[in-house]
C-alpha cells in the first residue's frame, strides 16, 4: 500500500488555498487526513474536498499535532509565527510566502529547475515568488544549453497576484467606470480597472521595488548563480488572472532560433505557443487555469547579435503558487526526484526542531 499523509493547509480560504484544494484532489495526492486552517473569523465554515464538506479550524497552538505536511499560503507574518511550531511538531512546511525565501538554511525550489534542493530542507521549503517561478521554468532549459549572461524582464502582473479581494475589486471598479461612477480602491492603492501602475510593493533606496528585487535575488538562489545579472520592472495591469512577462536574454554567442524553440517545446512545465501567420502568441486568457507556462514570440534581439527575446504567460495562482507547492509535496512523497514513493518525513532525515 502506498504511504498516505496527514496534510494541513494554512490559509485555506484564500485564492491560493482554494487552488491547493483543487490540485490535491485532481492530482490525487495521497492524503490520509486533511486539515483546513484559517483565521478565527473563518472557523466553523466548510470547504468541499473529494465530495466531503470539511470544517475550517482556526490556527492555534497545538493545531499541527499529528500533521506530516503543511502547505502554507497565509502571508509572511503568519508563516513566521506558526511554521516553527509546525516543524517542531514534526511536520514539513512548504511556504508560499516570502518569509523564508532568502534564508540560507531554507531551500527555494522550482521542481523543473532544482528538485534536488528540496531534500536539503531542515523542516521548511520555500515556494518562490510567482513571477520568479514562471520565468525560471522558461529560462532554465535555455540556460542549461547556453548559460545566460544577462536578463532584462518586464512583468505585466494581474490582480490575482494581490489575492481574491483584489480580483473582486477590479470587477467592481470596471463596473463603476462603465456606469460613469468613480472607482473605489481599498485593496490596491490605485484604481486598476482600465489602468496600470508600477508594482506597489515597497521601494528600496536603489529605486527598485520589493517585487523586482525578489525576481533578482530568488533567481540567483534557484539557479545557483550568486552574481546572475538580472534587472526587472514589474507592473500591475488590469487583468484578473495570469501574469505575463517580456524577457530579453543575452548569451555569450548567438542562440539558434530553431534550437531555442525546440528546447522550449520539449521542456517540462512549458508549452510553446506561437503562430506567426496570425500574430497569435500567449495571452492571459490562454494561461488561466493551465499548469504549463506558455512561451512564444521567440526572436533574435535586433540590437544584440547574442540576444534573444521571448514572451510568456502563466497562471499566477496555479503554477505561480499552488501547483509549484503541490509539485514540491509530490517530490517529497516520492522520496527523490526520480525515486519511489516514501515517507515525507524520511525525505531528508529527521525534520523536528527549530525551523531556521
Looking at residue 42, its pLDDT comes to 92
On whether residue 355 sits in a domain, the answer given is no
Report whether 192 contacts 170 (CB < 8 A). Answer: yes
Q: Are residues 232 and 164 in the same domain?
A: yes
Report whether 210 contacts 204 (CB < 8 A). Answer: yes
Average confidence score pLDDT of the chain: 93
Residue 256: CB atoms within 10 A of its CB come to 14
Instruction: Judge whether residue 184 has pLDDT over 50.
Output: yes
Looking at residue 164, its pLDDT comes to 84
Q: Grid coordinates 487526513 are at which residue?
A: 33
Q: CA 227, CA 316: separation in Å to the nearest integer?
A: 27
Instruction: Judge whether residue 195 has pLDDT over 60.
Output: yes
Q: Are residues 164 and 304 in the same domain?
A: yes
**Looking at residues 210-230, what average pLDDT do you find?**
98
Q: In this prediction, what percent of the chain has a pLDDT beyond 90? A: 90
Catalytic residues: 130, 243
pTM of the model: 0.92
Instruction: Judge whether residue 53 has pLDDT over 60.
Output: yes
Beta-bridge mates of residue 93: 70, 124
Q: CA 229, CA 96: separation in Å to the nearest integer?
A: 25
Q: Are residues 172 and 288 in the same domain?
A: yes
On whether residue 216 sits in a domain, the answer given is yes
Looking at residue 354, its pLDDT comes to 33
On whether residue 223 sits in a domain, the answer given is yes
CA-closest candidate to residue 87, choices 99, 30, 275, 17: 99
**Looking at residues 6-18, what average pLDDT do you find?**
95
Looking at residue 337, its pLDDT comes to 61
Q: Are residues 198 and 283 in the same domain?
A: yes
Q: Are residues 90 and 219 in the same domain?
A: no
Looking at residue 352, its pLDDT comes to 34
Looking at residue 336, its pLDDT comes to 65
Question: With the C-alpha atoms ordered 131, 137, 142, 148, is the resulting torsion angle positive or negative?
Answer: positive
Looking at residue 163, its pLDDT comes to 85
pLDDT digits (tens, 9 = 90+) for 256-298: 999 999 999 999 999 999 999 999 999 999 999 999 999 999 9
3-state helix, strand, coil in the chain (%, to 5): 35, 25, 45
Q: Which domain holds residue 155?
A: 131-316
CATH of the domain at 237: 3.30.360.10
Instruction: Judge whether residue 309 has pLDDT over 50.
Output: yes
Q: Are residues 32 and 137 in the same domain?
A: no
Q: Are residues 279 and 335 in the same domain?
A: no
Looking at residue 13, its pLDDT comes to 93
Q: Are residues 197 and 335 in the same domain?
A: no
Report whether 192 contacts 231 (CB < 8 A). Answer: no
pLDDT digits (tens, 9 = 90+) for 335-352: 866 544 344 444 434 333
On whether residue 198 sits in a domain, the answer given is yes
Structural domain total, the chain: 2
CATH of the domain at 18: 3.40.50.720
Strands 150-157 and 230-236: parallel
Q: Are residues 85 and 137 in the same domain?
A: no
Looking at residue 348, its pLDDT comes to 37
Q: Are residues 231 and 328 in the same domain?
A: no
Q: Are residues 204 and 97 in the same domain?
A: no
- Cα pseudo-dihedral 286, 292, 293, 297, rounded to 10: -60
pLDDT digits (tens, 9 = 90+) for 99-131: 999 999 999 999 999 999 999 999 999 999 999
Looking at residue 181, its pLDDT comes to 98
**Looking at residues 173-198, what average pLDDT do you find?**
97
CA-closest candidate to residue 233, choices 220, 244, 221: 244
On whether residue 94 sits in a domain, the answer given is yes
As given in the structure block, the three cell numbers for residue 303 are 540590437
Q: CA 278, CA 284: separation in Å to the nearest integer?
A: 17
On whether residue 338 sits in a domain, the answer given is yes
Confidence of residue 88 (pLDDT cuts 50, 70, 90): very high
Q: Are residues 124 and 136 in the same domain?
A: no
On whether residue 354 sits in a domain, the answer given is no
Instruction: Judge whether residue 214 has pLDDT over 50.
Output: yes
Confidence of residue 32 (pLDDT cuts 50, 70, 90): very high
On whether residue 353 sits in a domain, the answer given is no
Looking at residue 335, its pLDDT comes to 82
Amino acid at each position: 500500500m502506498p504511504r498516505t499523509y496527514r496534510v494541513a493547509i494554512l490559509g485555506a480560504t484564500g485564492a491560493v488555498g482554494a487552488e491547493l484544494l483543487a490540485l490535491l484532489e485532481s492530482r490525487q495526492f495521497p492524503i490520509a487526513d486533511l486539515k483546513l486552517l484559517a483565521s478565527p473569523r473563518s472557523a466553523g465554515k466548510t470547504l468541499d474536498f473529494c465530495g466531503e464538506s470539511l470544517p475550517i479550524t482556526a490556527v492555534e497552538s497545538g493545531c499541527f499535532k499529528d500533521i506530516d505536511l503543511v502547505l502554507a499560503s497565509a502571508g509572511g507574518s503568519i508563516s513566521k509565527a506558526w511554521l516553527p511550531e509546525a516543524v517542531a511538531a514534526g511536520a514539513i512546511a512548504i511556504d508560499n510566502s516570502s518569509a523564508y525565501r532568502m534564508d540560507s538554511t531554507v531551500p527555494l525550489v522550482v521542481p523543473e529547475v532544482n528538485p534536488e534542493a528540496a531534500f536539503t530542507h531542515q523542516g521548511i521549503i520555500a515556494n518562490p515568488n510567482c513571477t520568479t517561478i514562471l520565468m525560471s521554468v522558461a529560462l532554465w532549459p535555455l540556460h542549461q544549453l547556453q548559460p545566460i549572461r544577462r536578463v532584462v524582464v518586464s512583468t505585466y502582473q494581474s490582480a490575482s497576484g494581490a489575492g481574491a479581494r483584489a480580483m473582486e475589486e477590479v470587477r467592481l471598479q470596471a463596473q463603476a467606470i462603465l456606469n460613469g461612477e468613480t472607482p473605489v480602491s481599498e485593496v490596491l492603492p490605485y484604481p486598476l480597472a482600465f489602468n496600470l501602475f508600477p508594482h506597489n510593493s515597497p521601494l528600496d533606496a536603489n529605486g527598485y521595488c520589493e517585487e523586482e528585487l525578489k525576481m533578482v535575488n530568488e533567481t540567483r538562489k534557484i539557479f545557483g548563480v550568486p552574481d546572475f545579472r538580472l534587472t526587472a520592472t514589474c507592473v500591475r495591469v488590469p487583468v484578473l488572472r495570469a501574469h505575463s512577462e517580456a524577457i530579453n536574454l543575452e548569451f555569450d554567442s548567438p542562440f539558434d532560433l530553431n534550437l531555442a524553440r525546440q528546447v522550449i517545446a520539449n521542456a517540462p512545465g512549458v508549452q510553446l505557443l506561437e503562430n506567426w501567420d496570425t500574430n497569435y502568441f500567449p495571452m492571459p486568457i490562454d494561461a488561466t487555469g493551465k499548469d504549463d507556462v506558455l512561451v512564444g514570440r521567440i526572436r533574435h534581439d535586433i540590437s544584440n547579435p547574442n540576444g534573444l527575446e521571448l514572451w510568456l504567460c502563466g497562471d499566477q495562482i496555479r503554477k505561480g503558487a499552488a501547483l509549484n507547492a503541490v509539485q514540491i509535496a509530490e517530490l517529497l512523497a516520492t522520496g527523490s526526484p526520480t525515486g519511489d514513493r516514501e515517507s515525507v518525513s524520511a525525505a531528508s532525515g529527521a525534520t523536528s526542531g527549530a525551523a531556521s
